[in-house]
Amino acid sequence: MTENTCWKVNILTLFPEMFDFLNHSIIKRAIDNKILNLNTINIRDFATDNYKTVDDTPYGGGAGQLLKPDILGYAIDSVYNKAEKKGSIIYLSPRGKIFNQSVAERLSKESETTFICGHYEGIDERVIEYYEIEELSLGDFVLSGGETALFPILDATTRLLPNVLGSAHSLTEESFSNSLNGMLEYPQYTRPEIWNDIPVPEILKSGHHKKISDWKKEKSLEITKKNRPDLLKNIEK
């Protein structure tokens, strides 16, 4: 994939008004600068009865309702061409693969991505199979809908788009970045030099770039061992 000039995001949801929340900060800047194009689609607009029904009971019994495959299919077809397979189509689901920085980097290189925000007990499995949908999760917990799961995914990906952040250097040394071998970021300090009788580490005021660099790597490793030892397996031997 080549570097994007604009990332188009189609969001299929029953609550498009929830995404008004994104009209702030970095995401708003990306939209204003035409680096990000958010296209929200109300699934209920594709209902075929007077009651705007979008869900039904599952075959085989069980609690809750499922989004109907025909209605959801109409909504998907309005923005996604199955034959062309342009970009990813992703369903936010607790059974999906865990979203992480590498997934955000992959999405940031797509020209267009379509997200499905489920509700109730989920969506009909045939939709996932027919459109070869990728499933993503934030972790081992269940949310009431895919909208709140999508917020951090959009944020994490948008900030990786070209020209979104003021300086590309902002991305080079942060948690999970390649320069830190996928580890957590080191501690950082700013003025005042002493706060609540706690001073800034002397090494950071030394001006000795090699020693500062070594200190950062050491602290990054310490914090990773303490908080996320599972990340250490990613460190290059």
pLDDT at residue 167, rounded to an integer: 55
C-alpha to C-alpha distance for 221 and 231, rounded to whole angstroms: 10
- What pLDDT does residue 86 have? 84
Query: What local confidence, expressed as pLDDT, does residue 135 receive?
Result: 98
Candidate from 2-6, 127-131, 195-199 with smallest mean pLDDT: 2-6
1: pLDDT strictly greater than 50: no
Structure tokens at 223: 């914090």
CA-nearest of 159, 160, 139, 134 to 149 is 139
The rounded mean pLDDT for the chain is 91
- Mean pLDDT (whole number) for 56-63: 91
Query: Mean pLDDT over residues 115-134, rounded?
Result: 94
pLDDT, position 165:
87
> Measuring CA to CA, how many Å separate 120 from each of 50, 59, 63, 126, 237?
21, 15, 10, 17, 46
pLDDT digits (tens, 9 = 90+) for 86-123: 889 999 999 999 999 999 999 999 999 999 999 888 99
CA distance 195 to 21: 35
Residue 168's pLDDT is what? Answer: 55
Instruction: Say if residue 69 is preceded by a cis peptide, omega within 30 of 0.
Output: no
Q: What is the pTM of this model?
A: 0.85
For the segment 177-211, what is each residue's pLDDT rounded down to a tens digit? 776 788 999 999 999 999 999 999 999 999 999 99
How sure is the predictor about 24, in pLDDT bands with cuts at 50, 70 and 90? confident
